[in-house]
Amino acid sequence: MAAGEAPWSFAFAIPPATQGLRMYSSDFLHGTEDPWTRPISAAHKMVETLTVFDDVFVPWERVFFYNRPDLAGAAALTFVEFHRFTAVSYKLPLLDALVGTGFAVAQANGIERAGHVREKLTWLAGYAETVRGLTQLAAQRCLTEVGIAYPDVFTTNLAKWTFARDFHHALDTVQDLAGGLLVTGPSGMDWKSPEIRPVLDKYLRGAWPADRRMAVINLISDLTARTYGGYQAVLAIHAEGSLEAEKLAMFRAYDSKRAIGLAMRLAGLSEN
Ligand SMILES: Cc1cc2nc3c(=O)[nH]c(=O)nc-3n(C[C@H](O)[C@H](O)[C@H](O)COP(=O)(O)OP(=O)(O)OC[C@H]3O[C@@H](n4cnc5c(N)ncnc54)[C@H](O)[C@@H]3O)c2cc1C
């Protein structure tokens, strides 16, 4: 922190119902939606807020520290490093869902043997398993000197950066395999109509019958193309810190001595 900013170095925790604390909710993912076209987001809601402290009284017993610039950096970084580790951990089921729907829709569309499709599915699986492997490595490399397992900073940020950097490519890969029905498919009302349904069953079948094919396509649409998909796309890039924040943390945490030492030895130079 810069000179004169010490009074801004504080941390506390208070209940959400405290007087003067206001949370202005985002309108993403609100309301009831059709569970046929939105199998995930109709059931699961996430609320984000702009949180404003307007003349809030914070009792001293709720204050972790105040006027301690020496603690401010460590407090912020400790939050971020655990937060990024939880991020890459909780993202794994989402990545598995993208890989799984990629394989399923390739079969539903009858294209799973095509060379370009196998290449795309291999990339998707490799991406998800790279993030999983880096997350496990961050845990295995944890520091224990502080009395708790502290995830390795470089590997945690590498895992998060790898996840965020390639997430949009994972979305376009699954969308490519699925086809345009992601946004041109019928509504749940038409699907339920006894008059229209036989037409949909006839024209929307692929290698799988229409009901199974559309269930997978609607899941992909919810995960990648509708409101929830847009939310996840921004979440990947910005939540838990943006891409540049992850690279900054990696550069700071990387211990370059071993690599430089090897380069010096190979060049026949002393390390000084
Ligand atoms: C769905 C969601 C949930 C979230 N939940 C939480 C939460 O629970 N708790 C929490 O604390 N935060 C949360 N966040 C906030 C998140 O941590 C921030 O959005 C993230 O750190 C990026 O900051 P920002 O949004 O201010 O974007 P910015 O930092 O403004 O980024 C926009 C662009 O500006 C660039 N930029 C920023 N600063 C500089 C600079 N000095 N020089 C050059 N370029 C710069 C960035 O690299 C980026 O390209 C959440 C975000 C999202 C999207």
pLDDT (tens digit per residue) in 226-249: 999 999 999 999 999 999 999 999
Instruction: Please tell me what DSSP assigns to residue 39.
Output: T
Cα of 239 vs centre of ligand 1, distance in Å, is: 7
Q: Which of 18, 2, 9 is nearest to 65 (CA)?
A: 9
Q: What local confidence, expressed as pLDDT, does residue 46 receive?
A: 82
User: What is the rounded CA–CA span in Å between residue 134 and residue 105?
Assistant: 28
- The residues, ordered by sequence, that sit 6+ positions from 200 with a Cβ below 8 Å of its Cβ are 186, 190, 191, 210, 214
**Dihedral of alpha carbons 105, 106, 107, 110, sign:** positive
Ligand 1 centroid to Cα of residue 172, in Å, is: 23
Q: Give the span between the Cα atoms of 90 and 236, in whole angstroms.
A: 12
- Ligand 1 midpoint to CA 39 (Å): 29
Give pLDDT, residue 76. 87
Rounded CA gap, 270 and 272, in Å?
6
Q: Which residues of the chain have pLDDT under 50?
A: none
Look at residue 152 in the predicted model and tell me its pLDDT. Answer: 96
The model's pTM is: 0.91
CA dihedral for 259, 262, 268, 270, sign (positive or negative): positive
Q: What are phi and psi of 133, to 5 degrees?
A: -60, -40
CB 22 within 8 A of CB 55: no
Please report the pLDDT score of residue 271 as a whole number.
67
pLDDT at residue 141, rounded to an integer: 97
Q: Find residue 24's DSSP bridge partners.
A: 50
Residue 126 to residue 98: CA distance in whole angstroms? 12
Q: Which of 24, 30, 18, 20 is nearest to 50 (CA)?
A: 24
The CA distance from 248 to 157, in Å, is 9
Contact indicator for 53, 24 with CB cutoff of 8 Å: no
How far apart are the C-alpha atoms of 53 and 60, rounded to whole Å? 16
pLDDT at 272: 66
The predicted pLDDT at position 63 comes to 97
23 DSSP β-pair partners: 51
Residue nearest to atom 32 of ligand 1 (CA): 242
Atom 31 in ligand 1: which residue has the minimum CA distance? 242
Please list, in sequence order, all residues whose beta carbon lies within 8 angstroms of the beta carbon of residue 96, skipping any fewer than 6 positions away: 128
- Check residue 116 and report its DSSP letter: H
Distance between CA atoms of 191 and 14, rounded to whole angstroms? 48
Query: What's the pLDDT score for residue 2?
Result: 80
Residues with CB under 6 A from ligand 1: 48, 234-235, 238-242, 244
Separation of alpha carbons 187 and 181, rounded Å: 11
Q: What residue's CA is closest to ligand 1, atom 40?
A: 244
Task: Compute the distance from residue 231 Cα to the ligand 1 centre, in Å.
Answer: 14
Question: Count H helices, E strands: the chain?
Answer: 11, 4
